[in-house]
Amino acid sequence: MSIASIREKFDERLSSKFSSEFNSEDQIIEQKFIESKIF
């Protein structure tokens, strides 16, 4: 396995980790927004 392919795998894992964290944060914000509209 070359360094480039290892690095690519690492970048993929890192970006998916970040995107999932951002997605959950967005969902929380969205939920609060929806709740504030209801109440």
* The token pair that represents 10 in the structure block: 């690492």
Count of domains observed in the chain: 1
- Per-residue pLDDT at 26: 81
pLDDT digits (tens, 9 = 90+) for 1-39: 688 888 898 888 877 777 677 777 888 888 888 888 876
pTM score: 0.38
Question: Using CA atoms, how far apart are residues 10 and 4, in angstroms rounded to an integer?
Answer: 10
**3-state secondary structure (DSSP) of residue 39:** coil
- Per-residue pLDDT at 14: 78
Q: Which of 19, 23, 15, 22 is nearest to 7 (CA)?
A: 15
- Per-residue pLDDT at 1: 67
Residues spanned by the domain of 21: 1-39
